[in-house]
């Protein structure tokens, strides 16, 4: 699957962030950067949010070492 905004291949964090911000029932369409841009904040802020969601135990964001994991920035 690729991002409809920039064409980048979507990874686990892209999919999780899209679902967290838009709807768990939606198929992911945007990468982290494009989702952040859509909501009006920076990609850096998006990664801060992802780290916070991950620390809270959100199952949309795998812990370190998970297969198919994009590197968390």
pTM score of the predicted model: 0.82
pLDDT in tens, 20-63: 999 988 888 999 999 999 999 999 999 999 999 999 999 999 87
Mean pLDDT value across the chain: 88
Specify the long-range contacts of residues 41-44, CB closer than 8 Å, at least 24 apart. 44/73
Residue 11 has which token pair? Answer: 């990874």
Residue 64, pLDDT score: 60
């Amino acid at each position: 699957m690729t991002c409809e905004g920039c064409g980048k291949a979507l990874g686990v964090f892209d999919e999780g962030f899209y679902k967290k911000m838009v709807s768990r029932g939606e198929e992911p369409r945007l990468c982290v950067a494009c989702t952040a841009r859509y909501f009006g904040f920076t990609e850096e802020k998006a990664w801060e949010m992802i780290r916070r969601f991950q620390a809270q135990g959100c199952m949309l964001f795998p812990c370190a070492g998970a297969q198919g994991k994009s590197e968390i920035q």
